[in-house]
Amino acid sequence: MRLRLPVLLSAILGFAAAHAAERAFDFSQTKVGETPEGFHSFRAGIGKPGDWQIVLDDIPTEFKPRSTNAAAANRLPVLAQVSRDPADERFPVLLYDGDVYGDLTLTTRFKIVGGAVEQMAGVVFRLQDEKNFYVVRANAQDGNVRFYKFINGERSAPIGNSMPVTKGVWHELSVTCNGNRILVRLDGKEAIPELTDNSFLLGKVGFMTKSDSVAYFSEAKVEYRPLESLATSLVRDTIAHQSRLKNLRIYGKTTAQPELHVIASKITTENGMKAEETELKAFAENQSYLGKADNEQIVTAPLHDRNGETVGVVKFFLKPFLGQTEANVVARVLPIVREMEQRVGASRELNE
């Protein structure tokens, strides 16, 4: 039987990018001598905390300021760790307090400026807390790149290779994580053969030095795959709060898969599944349909953007109840839709 639902289903969904997004760290927005907003400092191991601040440095011409507020010529703001406490096993960290990342490529340029005991610079990633995280760092004194991890505050044995790391010269360090696989590059070259480690699959990112090392960082960014789209979040949260809702699917179109297909479902193995006749009709005709299956009622309804254009389909699988009619089956769906709509400030087309 075909039902017509009001356009209360519009504005239901903003779909986060399925491919890599980017977060660039613009240190030119921070005054010289201050610590960038959105970061905080802590010290792993022993010794005094680090002193993280913005300084001006002469950098190569390929460095371009991200802001018109940047200094003229090639003297630009960079992040620096300038404290010189020589305590061994002292690891000053500046942690980005924002997003948690899973699959990512973390890239930064760094320059090791000084240090009598150590001359190291690196990054932390997939950080859970101040005692559990991964590290990749470069050593100008010994000429090597190393990976290790902190587990409950204890540092693991390092893994890595010898390669030239010149003091006073800008280098590029990048770490790519894909699931449990970790690849490290220095100046575009593989620094450590691909590692496999299951300790941490997501976490925060930041910068690190060791002991009395003084180091600068610039042109830092994270390219990442968003951990969860809004569609996935809507499905998960709606299922959790609706005891009679057995399953919920959201259908959409993407560049990689232009035909209508499941982009989010309680049953994750359904993701990518092609739409069938009912979903295709709901999308093409802007109509809603009521169906039945074994011990469940099914409502298939079009999704609209804020302009009223059909951009997808939502499918509800509902447990039956005593005294139900076709009208009150639909009535059960509409409050769910309204609740989902409240979480969407402005809808976007369903895309990648």
In this predicted model, what pLDDT tens digit does every residue of 21-36 receive, in sequence order?
889 999 998 999 999 9
CATH number for the segment(s) 21-224: 2.60.120.560
Residue 144's pLDDT is 98
- Give the pLDDT confidence score for residue 306 in this predicted structure: 64
CATH topology of domain 2-16+228-341: Beta-Lactamase (3.30.450)
> Three-state SS string across the chain, please?
CEECCCHHHECCCCCCCCCCEEEEECHHHCCCCCCCCCEEEEEEECCCCCCEEEEEEECCCCCCCCCCCCCCCCEEEEEEECCCCCCCCEEEEEEECCCCECCEEEEEEEEEEECCCCCEEEEEEEEEECCEEEEEEEECCCCEEEEEEEECCEECCCEEEECCCCCCCCEEEEEEEECCEEEEEECCEEEEEEEECCCCCCEEEEEEECCCCEEEEEEEEEEECCCCCHHHHHHHHHHHHCCCEEEEEEEECCCCCCCCEEEEECCHHHCCCECCHHHHHHHHHCCEEEEEECCEEEEEEEEECCCCCEEEEEEEEECCCCCCCHHHHHHHHHHHHHHHHCCCCCCCCCCC
Taking the model in full, what pTM does it have? 0.63
Q: Which of 87-91, 131-135, 264-268, 328-332 has the lowest mean pLDDT?
A: 328-332
Half-sphere exposure of 179 (CA within 13 A, CB side): 3
pLDDT band at 344 (very low <50, low <70, confident <90, very high): very low
Q: Where are the domains of the chain?
A: 2-16+228-341, 21-224
Q: How confident is the model at residue 342 (pLDDT cuts 50, 70, 90)?
A: low
Query: Residue 73 has what pLDDT?
Result: 46
As a whole number, mean pLDDT of residues 244-272 equals: 88
Q: What would the pLDDT profile of 52-82 be if each residue is shown by its tens digit?
A: 999 999 877 555 444 545 444 478 999 999 9
Mean pLDDT value across residues 213-220: 97
Least confident of 71-75, 319-323, 325-329: 71-75
